[in-house]
Amino acid sequence: MNHTFTLPNSGHNFDAKASKLGMWLFLYTELLLFGGLFLVYMVYRFLNQEAFLEASYELNVWMGTVNTIILLTSSLTIAMSITALQKGDKKLSVILLWLTIAAALAFLVIKYFEWSAKFEHGLFPGMEHYDALPVGERLYFYLYFFMTGLHALHVIVGAVFILVVVKKINNGSVNQKRYSLLENSGLYWHLVDLVWIYLFPLFYLIH
Q: Tell me if 125 is assigned to some domain.
A: yes
Judge whether 15 lies within some domain. Answer: no
b/e code 149-164 from CB counts within 10 Å (16+ = b): eebbebbeebbebbee
Rounded mean pLDDT, 71-94: 96
The mean pLDDT of 189-205, rounded to a whole number, is 96
Q: Round to whole Å and give the CA distance between 35 and 62.
A: 25
Tens-place pLDDT, residues 106-161: 999 999 999 999 999 999 999 999 999 999 999 999 999 999 999 999 999 999 99
Domain that holds residue 181: 22-204
In a domain, 190, yes or no: yes
- For residue 60, the model assigns a pLDDT of 95
Cβ contact 33:125 at 8 Å: no
CATH label of the domain that carries residue 105: 1.20.120.80
> Domain total for the chain?
1
- pLDDT higher than threshold 70 for residue 11: no
Residue 29 has pLDDT above 50, yes or no: yes
| Chain segment 170-191, per-residue pLDDT in tens | 999 998 888 899 999 999 999 9
Task: Give the Cα separation of 189 and 155 in Å (integer).
Answer: 8
Kindly state whether residue 16 falls inside one of the protein's structural domains.
Answer: no
Residue 1 lies in a domain: no
Report the 10 Å Cβ neighbour count for 28: 11
173 assigned to some structural domain: yes
The span from the CA of 98 to the CA of 80, in Å, is 12
| Alpha carbons 66 and 74: distance in angstroms, whole number | 12
DSSP summary character for residue 9: T
| Structure confidence at residue 4 (pLDDT) | 46
Residue 116 in any domain: the answer is yes
* Domain presence at residue 62: yes
pLDDT in tens, 38-55: 999 999 999 999 999 999
